Structure 1
Amino acid sequence: MDVLKYGRSLSPAQIIVYSFALFILAGTALLMLPAATVDGAGATFTDALFTIVSAVCVTGLSVQDTGTYWTFFGQAVILFAIQVGGLGVVTAAISLTVFSGRKIGLMQRNTMQEALAAPQLKGIVQLVLFILKYVAIIELVGTLLLYTVFAPQYGWVTGWWYAMFHAISAFCNAGFDIMGPAGGGSLTTYEFNPVVNTVIMLLIIIGGLGFMTWADVRTHGFHIRAYRLQSKIILIMTAVLIIVPTLIFYATEFGQNHDTMYLFPAMFQAVTTRTAGFNSVDLMTLSESNRAILILLMLVGGAPGSTAGGIKTTTAFALLASVWAMMRRSSDISCFGRRISEDTLHKATVLFMMYLLLIIFSTIFISALDDFSILDSCFETVSAIATVGLSIGITDQLSTLSKYILIFLMFFGRVGALTFVFAVHSKFDGTRSHYVKEDVVIG
């Protein structure tokens, strides 16, 4: 009775955080089994924890090569964790309740609303069913298309496993691959393959748009004017953050011989930072300036309520819009005929500062502890907190303490900064007294 009473007293934010934590512990135990590793010894606690956190938090950073270190059982555990983590542990669990025919209570609906970043409680169960249906369809189509490439190369059975693994990993913006280290790892051997590049990029983009954007597309089709403000912002930011970096990468890195085929690697690097973690080229060959651009793109990430991480496109837009409004000496932050509330801007500012402070301190600590450059340490740190998974090859060289820092950053980035804070400070007394307001000169 006390346990049930305690469970009912949890806030939606606490349920989300605890659900992720419990799922991670279960996955860690499975990866430590002898059947999970090729050598039959099982993974160490740190390696198992790091891998399962990276999978559940759909990041993709690895301390062991996924294709050669883990057995089929180990890879299956990782893939299941990716799928559940992409949907959200709470969404996946409640989906089982829906299919079992059991009634969904108000607390469960509130938790689903928080997990999906849905604007209202009404219709939340129908939204979950819609998400599950289209996730299954999109991942199946992606698997079939990739199968046309992988089957002739790896055989019918292994080719299907490869196709399904990478389709789910791409849609969930996880970035895990089972290609092995040959040829530079990840998808570097398919740098110019039109099918693999196009399918993986589309899966990443669709997964990163967010479930509520899907709902707008389903309801209004191509009548974009009828979309909610959030969906418009997401679509505009997504287009800009793909097109502009693609042109920059092509002009400065890949297009020296003016071959249009090099648009594939240029666009792939722009898309994968949204936050998928695949790479079709060796990132160490990129210039420092372009690696810095990758860091900025990783930090922004995808849409709220999506499989992607980062501070989110809406947060970046709100901050940029506030800067533009300040430059125009306007008190209103508006776009598409709508005004962004001060509360939204306040949350965006707090979230950005939390990410920034964690990135700064973690980067400095890892750089000092493991003697890597600030840029390399920052790349790994941002990749972890933004749940991207891109790496310049130093993850497996980090000390144990640095690995645990990345584990925390991945967990923090997946559950979300605000959700994490609300879970820690779940109670708010709106009747508290307030101090007298006094202005402070800024700038």
Structure 2
Amino acid sequence: MQSKIKSRFNLTYAKLSAIGFIIIIIIGAILLSLPISSKSGEVTPFINALFTATSATTVTGLVVYDTYSHFSPFGQSVILVLIQIGGLGFMIIATMFLLVLRKKIGIRERSFLKESVNTIHIGGVVRLAKHILVGTILLEGIGTIILSIKFSSEMGVKAGIFNGVFHSVSAFNNAGFDLMGRYEAYSSLTKYSSDTVVNITIMTLIVIGGIGFVVWEDIYKNKHRFQKYQLHSKIVLFTTALLIICSAIAFYVLERNNLLADTGVKETILSSFFQAITPRTAGFNTMDTASLSEGSKLLTMILMIIGGSSGSTAGGIKTTTFIITILSVISLVRHSNDLNIFGRRLEDNILKRAYSIITIYITGAFIGMLFISLIQPELALSDIAFEVLSATGTVGMSTGITRQLNVLSRFIVIILMFCGRIGSLAVVMAVAENKNNVIVKNPLEKIVIG
């Protein structure tokens, strides 16, 4: 099916991915705008339904309505499905249906699937897709059981199970949507800031979902034998651990005289680690984001830019891109032409791709900030920057201005969330694909840099 479409319309994976997500978002927006999707039984304005559908499909978590207070169980279920599709990627979902229907998966479908999960080799990609589906069901299932037991004691069995499923899927896919409006609107997980079970379960799901499918496969095959992991997996695991530990310490230092001033030791530790993990595209919060110190907000924005890992449910420039830029600085300082890590040398053109991703990402974010500042000058620039980076990194954290955005500003955020999920570089490649490859090179000439 996909091969016929591709041959007829000459679709690249970037274009197919963009079109696929647009279709899913529009269907979701139509469903969410229906009276059956709201608790009041009224039609939800389409721009707000589109915003919510985009936020769910791009696993961002920015909301213009409190999910529990505004949406009916049907609407909440639509959001849940959109999160799952958006987190796994529609190509994996499509592969699942092809496998169920026992349809042949051709070379082009495998090629699309390879790009969807960001794996290096096309061989074994269908097996990897199966493992991803099984792993997702297993991990979300474990999270659901733990959270359902916890929530059922407070909400009743039926509501507890639904909340367990919803928050497990939302956490694993790094979506950040919650149903805690039953206690206080837009409160996220602040009620559970000192709850060990909820914190550890949500944090574990976020981290596992954010390290990437390829890393899962590596861990599954090689278990604890770290030396046998692929270089990609080693970089991801090392960088993820380093960012979590360093960021948790930094948040404690920055908030010890602010939000953590009157908390106990357990809550301080849990809050510091949660705040270190959630900005890397999860979107939940156990502390009031608007009340964070300026230093903590800056650190949060830096983590939102970095994001999770390639081929995962997370957004941002990705951990591998981040570590490559650090390696390039080290290489330049040492007057070395190579990028070396874990006893391996990286390919020469990877730095060009990394800097292209960062440049497009930052440029898009600044353009978004500029336009929203022009449209709504009454909003503080720091809040706009936080909102834009949260949207571009598909994070979902906000200082509270999402509901203050007008229609035009909301549309800008919708575009940013979409580009953040598809990948800024992929979007540019889809729009500006050039088939006329230039064989003859221009004359070489040096310029001064720095």
Q: TM-score range by the shorter chain?
A: over 0.9
Cα displacement (A) at 1:101 = 0.3
Partners in 1 of 2:108 and 2:50 — Cα distance? 30
Partners in 2 of 1:259 and 1:273 — Cα distance? 23
- In structure 2, the partner of 1:317 is 323
Cα displacement (A) at 1:418 = 2.3
- In structure 2, the partner of 1:260 is 265
Match for residue 211 of structure 2 among 209, 212, 219: 209
Is 1:141 the equivalent of 2:147? no
Q: How does 1:344-363 map to 2 (within 5 A)?
A: 344-363=350-369
Cα displacement (A) at 1:161 = 0.3
Distance change in 2, residues 1:284/1:4 (3 Å): closer
Q: Relative to structure 2, which stretch is displaced further, 179-188 or 97-106? A: 179-188
Cα displacement (A) at 1:97 = 1.0
Conservation of the 8 A alpha-carbon contact between 2:290 and 2:398: no
Partners in 1 of 2:150 and 2:374 — Cα distance? 44
- In the alignment, residue 214 of structure 1 is paired with which amino acid? W
Q: How does 1:41-60 map to 2 (within 5 A)?
A: 41-60=42-61
Query: How high is the TM-score relative to the length of structure 2?
Result: 0.95
Q: Relative to structure 2, which stretch is displaced further, 21-30 or 73-82? A: 21-30
Partners in 1 of 2:309 and 2:319 — Cα distance? 5
Is 1:387 the equivalent of 2:389? no
1:213-245, CA deviations, whole angstroms, 9 ceiling, x for partnerless residues?
A: 001101111111111111111111101111011
* Number of equivalenced pairs: 443
- In structure 1, the partner of 2:416 is 409
Partners in 2 of 1:282 and 1:111 — Cα distance? 41
Cα displacement (A) at 1:180 = 0.5
Is 1:419 the equivalent of 2:420? no
1:372-412, CA deviations, whole angstroms, 9 ceiling, x for partnerless residues?
A: 11111000000000000001111011011111111000000
Q: How does 1:19-418 map to 2 (within 5 A)?
A: 19-180=20-181, 182-183=183-184, 185-254=187-256, 256=261, 259-261=264-266, 262-370=268-376, 371-418=378-425
Cα displacement (A) at 1:269 = 0.7
Partners in 2 of 1:379 and 1:149 — Cα distance? 32
Cα displacement (A) at 1:428 = 3.5
Partners in 1 of 2:344 and 2:444 — Cα distance? 29
Conservation of the 8 A alpha-carbon contact between 2:254 and 2:295: no
Conservation of the 8 A alpha-carbon contact between 1:211 and 1:306: yes
Structure 2 alignment gaps of length 5 or more: none
Conservation of the 8 A alpha-carbon contact between 1:171 and 1:207: yes
- In the alignment, residue 404 of structure 2 is paired with which amino acid? Q
Conservation of the 8 A alpha-carbon contact between 2:315 and 2:420: yes
Conservation of the 8 A alpha-carbon contact between 1:12 and 1:107: no
Partners in 2 of 1:288 and 1:431 — Cα distance? 48
Partners in 1 of 2:110 and 2:100 — Cα distance? 15
Cα displacement (A) at 1:94 = 2.0
Partners in 2 of 1:327 and 1:222 — Cα distance? 34
Q: Secondary structure at the match of 1:315?
A: helix
1:167-195, CA deviations, whole angstroms, 9 ceiling, x for partnerless residues?
A: 00000000000110744610000000000
Partners in 2 of 1:241 and 1:287 — Cα distance? 20
Conservation of the 8 A alpha-carbon contact between 1:205 and 1:274: no
Q: Secondary structure at the match of 2:180?
A: coil
Cα displacement (A) at 1:347 = 0.5
Q: Secondary structure at the match of 2:310?
A: coil
Cα displacement (A) at 1:257 = 5.9
Partners in 2 of 1:227 and 1:126 — Cα distance? 18
Q: Secondary structure at the match of 2:181?
A: coil
Query: How high is the TM-score relative to the length of structure 1?
Result: 0.97
Conservation of the 8 A alpha-carbon contact between 1:274 and 1:297: yes
Partners in 1 of 2:6 and 2:162 — Cα distance? 44
Distance change in 2, residues 1:7/1:169 (3 Å): farther
Cα displacement (A) at 1:295 = 0.3
Partners in 2 of 1:378 and 1:437 — Cα distance? 39
Q: Relative to structure 2, which stretch is displaced further, 298-307 or 281-290? A: 281-290
Partners in 1 of 2:274 and 2:87 — Cα distance? 21
1:123-157, CA deviations, whole angstroms, 9 ceiling, x for partnerless residues?
A: 11110000000100000000001112100100000
Partners in 2 of 1:84 and 1:140 — Cα distance? 16
Partners in 1 of 2:57 and 2:120 — Cα distance? 25
Cα displacement (A) at 1:432 = 3.1
1:72-93, CA deviations, whole angstroms, 9 ceiling, x for partnerless residues?
A: 0000000000000000012112
Conservation of the 8 A alpha-carbon contact between 2:5 and 2:11: no
Partners in 1 of 2:336 and 2:187 — Cα distance? 50
- In the alignment, residue 151 of structure 2 is paired with which amino acid? F
Identical amino acids, percent of aligned pairs: 40
Partners in 2 of 1:121 and 1:112 — Cα distance? 8
